[in-house]
Amino acid sequence: MGSSMPLEGHSLAIFVVSVVMMCVATIAVALRVFVRVYLVRAFGWDDGLMLVALALFIFLDVCCMIGSKNGIGHKNDDFTELMTYEKALLWWWLGQMLYLWSSAVAKVSIALALLRLTVRRLHRIILWAVIGVVIAIGLMFWLVLLLDCRPISHFWLRVDPSNSGTCQPVRILLAIACLYSGITIFCDLTLGILPMFLIWRLQMNNRTKIALAGILSLGAVASVAVIIRLPFLHYYEDINFLYSTYQIAIWSIMETGLGITAGSLVTLRALFRWFLDGSNYYARHGRGGKPSGGPYPLSSLTGDASKKSSRDPSYWRPDLVPDKLNNLTVTTVSSPMARSPLSETNSSQEVLNPDEEAWHGQNHVSIHRTFQVSEGE
């Protein structure tokens, strides 16, 4: 038999899930980059980290696809060549290394995105704590897996009786894996529940609050995959390791892919507005997706007045122009959009801070209406 194994059963399931989740996550991140770079022009650290998470996730999927073609998902009796079994273990080992960091980076990206929406110190402390915990637990588990066997290559070469080396007892690895999963679930739920508190005091109807909370809480859907994976961790001790742990592989891929996808969907609100409004959206917000900050005339301007520069007072007050005073009505709506700390935020999200007086005081709308009646009347 050659080095390739047939794609069937468990191996086929791993291959299909890897391909589907890789495509879905890639599309979601591509749309996110389009929104952040082209529409709102506010590409931030969270967007860059999500790109890093996607790159790591693609490598993870590639490892799973190649590994499934080399024996991941097959029983020990299916292998006729020792080298093929060693390759399958090698691809499994590489996949779990990439899984840890792709999942952790995606969570950090989601937390940074929520940080831009928080103003209360307690919420910021919670988010920074989540970021610290995610990095710490990811680094700890990564080191445990990296140093599990000495030398490292003994993990995939241990099936060869002539190879010398040692590995930690599987029970230790299993205990650390359960600890990692439990902390991951806690962090995911925190990222999902916290947005509800962020919008609790907003002045909007309950339906809008629920919709907004649901959108911001999408990042917690990854915890569902972690919870489902938890009962399968004991298969690390199974003698048919590659066959029995296929559920762990599938739900690890699902966890990371769902996290990346959900974290990207949160930023796509501007895309739907752009798609629905079309040119009207740019007319109001400009090519960069930001409010232009200038006044919008809604008046019976004459052809000559409409061609004047907006800096010309007669453009906005044609009632002051001689010989054009008959039956004239001018309505002007203006928004000063004064600069404030909130206006400089690098975010495509709407400001969710009803307590910030500066926002209400410096960003207001003025409406002026002028009537002019001719003397003949």
46-72 tens-digit pLDDT: 889 999 999 999 999 999 999 999 889
* pLDDT of 165 over the 80 cut: yes
Q: Give me the pLDDT at residue 354, please.
A: 44
286 vs 148 pLDDT, higher one: 148
* Contact status, residue 38 vs residue 270, Cβ threshold 8 Å: no
Model confidence band, residue 291 (pLDDT cutoffs 50, 70, 90): very low
Question: What is the SS3 assignment for 371?
Answer: strand
1-36 tens-digit pLDDT: 446 778 888 999 999 999 999 999 999 999 999 888
Rounded to the nearest integer, the mean pLDDT of the chain is 76
Q: Which stretches does DSSP call E strand in the chain?
A: 149-150, 166-167, 296-299, 328-334, 366-372
Q: Give me the pLDDT at residue 48, please.
A: 92
Model confidence band, residue 333 (pLDDT cutoffs 50, 70, 90): low
Q: Give me the pLDDT at residue 207, please.
A: 73
Q: Give me the pLDDT at residue 252, please.
A: 92
298-326 tens-digit pLDDT: 334 444 544 554 444 454 445 545 555 45
* pLDDT of 278 over the 80 cut: no
Q: Give me the pLDDT at residue 217, please.
A: 72
- Residue percentage of the chain with pLDDT more than 70: 69
Q: Give me the pLDDT at residue 135, please.
A: 94
- Region 91-101 average pLDDT: 92
- Residue percentage of the chain with pLDDT more than 90: 25
User: Which domains, ranges and CATH numbers included, belong to the chain?
Assistant: 10-276 (1.20.1070), 293-372 (no CATH)
Alpha carbon distance 203, 210 (integer Å): 13
Long-range contact set of residues 238-243: C-beta below 8 Å, sequence gap at least 24: 239/76, 240/75, 240/76, 241/89, 242/71, 242/72, 242/73, 242/74, 242/75, 242/76, 242/85, 242/88, 242/89, 242/92, 243/10, 243/73, 243/74, 243/75, 243/76
- Region 323-347 average pLDDT: 47
